[in-house]
Structure 1
């Protein structure tokens, strides 16, 4: 088992947004964190990456607790945020080099990976560009390339399809599948439920900060007494929306 979130209660300041959230993300799996806008998906991820401190509960990655050993925990994770965060004064090449330094990567090996990813996302001729020259989709691709450079136990992906064209979306999904097959545990939050149903191995469904259900599509169909229903239908029926 890779990631274990146990009885998580948390939010912003003294306001509780998440209410007793518990789920697991095994290695070699892509788990979809499912919910509509405002359901608590990004808040959950912000707790898992250590940006927010839980009010109650625990977050453990392969035996390493975020609360007890944040340094060792964070070395084992990579993150693709919903909104790209780039340094305006750094070129694409310098962003990649910064990632290599942050994770203490072997430069030769890391550049071999980076070159491949840059070609896939058609950024290989833009190493000297600054973020001001990039579209939103291109900025998102930079975040993806940097997140995939280190070998981590857990990859967190927050609403990855916003700003990506269909070709880039396909490329990202192929790379996530590669990461999964290599042993990485992947937690992907999204409200694009049709895509989630196609690519995720299992699901964690939340609404208004509360757990609705978790498991494979077959599990969710059984739990909701909706055999053969789609993920979208199950979620919307559970939330009465």
Structure 2
């Protein structure tokens, strides 16, 4: 099953940014949206998470239609935005408790899972810190811990590597691979094509609001006669 986006049209202020976009994200796979700025990646995300209304088309995950049953659709989803969204007055521990409580998961078992993630991202000694004391990278790690604690079957992640140090990047890739091995589906955006080619199953190339190609990194590289380590040159 997984995520199915079919013939999606949508955008802003009555203007279609997305034109007949069809994308599949099978269970057990990581799919990355790629393209230049303005290609429609963030707009696609806003429609998938239900932030923007769909003009026409379908967004379905595990047979649950976003338009027909938005609550049930969103219950399956964990979203990590490009810019971290934190509450100034809440400590790190309070953020995690709030996130778990909002999903009915604020129990000892799930707190232990969250703590393990905090250890992974070296935040376990900062439980009483406020967001104003966190760097951009640390704020991003808080968002990652919150999202991965939910163990949602669908994860939507916008530019996850921005601001992360090398160790955190490696930890994130490992977490995503573990999630997909357990059957989860991940849709992300990234500009780091050469790095992403090592772990994503498929790239979806968006160009001016349309899907130009959906293929594995190896297939895309072969078609454009470049190596995987040269994937960053795809748009040049």
Residue in 1 that maps onto 2:138: 138
**Change over 3 Å in CA distance of 1:228–1:92 after alignment to 2:** closer
How big is each residue's C-alpha offset from its partner over 1:72-122, in whole Å with a ceiling of 9 and x where there is no partner?
000000011100000111111111011111211151111111111101111
Measured in 2, the distance between the counterparts of 1:139 and 1:108 equals 24
Residue in 1 that maps onto 2:103: 103
Residue in 1 that maps onto 2:183: 183
1:226 paired to 2:221:
no
3-state SS of paired residue (1:211) = strand
1:35 paired to 2:35:
yes
Contact 2:200 2:217 in 1 (8 A): no
Contact 1:33 1:204 in 2 (8 A): yes
Contact 2:9 2:18 in 1 (8 A): yes
Deviates more, 1:173-182 or 1:65-74: 173-182
Segments of structure 2 that go 5 or more residues without pairing to the other structure are: none
State how many pairs are aligned: 235
TM-score by length of 2: 0.95
Residue in 1 that maps onto 2:173: 173
Q: Which runs of structure 1 show a deviation greater than 2 angstroms over 4 or more consecutive aligned residues?
A: 217-222, 224-233
Segments of structure 1 that go 5 or more residues without pairing to the other structure are: none
Residue in 1 that maps onto 2:155: 155
3-state SS of paired residue (1:198) = coil
Note the 1:197-208 alignment, pairs <5 A: 197-208=197-208
TM-score by length of 1: 0.93
Residue in 2 that maps onto 1:53: 53
Deviates more, 1:86-95 or 1:212-221: 212-221
TM-superposed CA distance for 1:225, in Å, is: 5.7
Residue in 2 that maps onto 1:120: 120
Residue in 2 that maps onto 1:90: 90
TM-superposed CA distance for 1:54, in Å, is: 1.1
Measured in 2, the distance between the counterparts of 1:122 and 1:29 equals 27
Measured in 2, the distance between the counterparts of 1:151 and 1:183 equals 11
